[in-house]
A and B are shown apart, each in its own frame.
Chain A
């Protein structure tokens, strides 16, 4: 059972924070989400979070031509996470690498529990995540944008999946790590969840945390997810707003 804690032992505000960008320990980077940005995709979303810029396109449900992938009782959800060569300071060699193959897989696994795949047997839903600019936490940004794009495509879902990271940097447990905090910091803990039920669909960690720090980090990440979730819903409604 996940408990959402309000800042209890640590007083809030920047005065207690030693973060490089001056954020409070439980403050997200500036966030912007818009839905339905691509003309030809069935659903799409664009997300900016701090220095991250992510574009997601969803196609489907559509015909699956690869026979051995076909599921007789449900659709398959295929994800492709890709970083543009110009998304990082040193040019990234284009094409899939070990990191992006892993993120593609965990993205698909993070989204699958929320989607009613059984409504479209023998078909496929394709999700393409393009990272245009990266500044730490792109997998969370990708998952967050992907679920907005899925909703925009009219795909039935139990909930809108949302992702956020927490971690430890400079000896302090903080929400939504930036690139510098991720690289220099002691630990990174990205999670994805369904905000209504609180079910966690992704939990990864690298670095070292004590048991107590781990729980604080999870609580912080969940709190971040709740905030982002509101923005997701707003973005979807705004698309059809007046």
Chain B
């Protein structure tokens, strides 16, 4: 027996199904029923029932790529804020090898880095690393925070959504799995991208989003074009960074 429809909004404590089903993410079993533990949308796949949260915090997982901001420099490591209940650290040895150098010369407090979660230990210490393609320090650009569970929606099927934003705004866009998005391009275009990303976050639980995002982008860009008709319209093509696709 199932008591809810697919994509229905549920609240904590709502009864979803009975014991014939399996518990997925965002659900728990009590006696013979499966209940929701979150505010979110029901997702039914075969006999597995789960709830996709509408709001969440990032819990670090080994192998994820994240965007972090340096908060502190210690003797042999950097501390980073990764938009999560657990802060991360980047060991100096990961960057310099055996060489000894002053840490603040390489990365200073406030720098934004693109990193990989190397390990999360049992005391929830998050070890980060910089080894991998495209990982490193960002120069310039803006940061936008979204709810981590909405990252797949922002990227879209095979990157359709994110590539559309990139193509239309001519911005570099990098998405970390912790819900931090880095955008760099013309200042005006950065603002357009920010607006679109915020809109995707707000409406991620509705369908037909990609088309609406395209319309919104074209509308905003059309307005900008009209305004700057007399100004020079040539925009230089930005080199495309390797972005992360789930």
Which A residues fall within an 8 A CB radius of B?
42-43, 60-63, 72, 75, 114, 116, 120-123, 151-154, 156-160, 194-196, 233, 236-237, 240-241
> Can you list 8 A-B pairs with a CB-CB distance of less than 8 A?
A61-B85, A62-B85, A63-B87, A151-B38, A152-B39, A157-B12, A158-B28, A159-B13
CB–CB B13/A157 < 8 A = yes
Chain A minimum-CB-distance residue to B30: A158
Which of B11, B26, B123, B124 interacts with A236 by CB under 8 Å?
A: B11
Given contacts A121-B124, A154-B53, contact A160 B13 (CB under 8 A): yes
Best-surrounded residue of A75, A195, A236, A241 (most CB of chain B within 10 A): A236
A61, B148: Cα distance in complex, Å = 14
Which of B28, B35, B38 interacts with A154 by CB under 8 Å?
A: B38
What residues of B have a CB within 8 angstroms of the CB of A42 in the complex?
Answer: 55, 57
Chain B minimum-CB-distance residue to A36: B55
What residues of A have a CB within 8 angstroms of the CB of B73 in the complex?
Answer: none
Chain B minimum-CB-distance residue to A72: B123
* Contact digits for B68-79, partner A, Cβ 8 Å, 1 yes 0 no: 000000000000
Chain B minimum-CB-distance residue to A60: B85
CB–CB B123/A61 < 8 A = no
Which B residues fall within an 8 A CB radius of A?
9, 11-13, 26, 28, 30, 35, 37-40, 53-57, 59, 85-87, 123-124, 147, 205
CB–CB A151/B205 < 8 A = no
Given contacts A116-B37, A120-B85, contact A194 B13 (CB under 8 A): yes
Q: Secondary structure of the B side of the interface?
A: loop
A63, B57: Cα distance in complex, Å = 12
CB distance from A73 to the nearest CB of B (A): 11
A196, B9: Cα distance in complex, Å = 18
CB distance from A233 to the nearest CB of B (A): 5
A237, B59: Cα distance in complex, Å = 25
CB distance from B53 to the nearest CB of A (A): 5
What residues of B have a CB within 8 angstroms of the CB of A43 in the complex?
Answer: 55
CB distance from A78 to the nearest CB of B (A): 14
Given contacts A154-B57, A157-B12, contact A122 B39 (CB under 8 A): no
What residues of A have a CB within 8 angstroms of the CB of B9 in the complex?
Answer: 237, 240-241
CB distance from B45 to the nearest CB of A (A): 20
What residues of A have a CB within 8 angstroms of the CB of B57 in the complex?
Answer: 42, 60-62, 120, 154
CB–CB B37/A152 < 8 A = no
What residues of B have a CB within 8 angstroms of the CB of A240 in the complex?
Answer: 9, 39, 54, 205
CB distance from B55 to the nearest CB of A (A): 3
A233, B13: Cα distance in complex, Å = 10
CB distance from B201 to the nearest CB of A (A): 12
CB distance from A205 to the nearest CB of B (A): 27
Give the top 6 A-B pairs by smallest Cβ distance, nearest first: A154-B55, A159-B13, A123-B85, A156-B37, A157-B12, A61-B85
Which of A63, A114, A157, A236 interacts with B86 by CB under 8 Å?
A: A63
CB–CB B13/A196 < 8 A = yes
CB distance from B206 to the nearest CB of A (A): 9
A57, B124: Cα distance in complex, Å = 26
What residues of B have a CB within 8 angstroms of the CB of A60 in the complex?
Answer: 57, 85
CB distance from B101 to the nearest CB of A (A): 29
A123, B124: Cα distance in complex, Å = 10
What residues of B have a CB within 8 angstroms of the CB of A120 in the complex?
Answer: 57, 59, 85
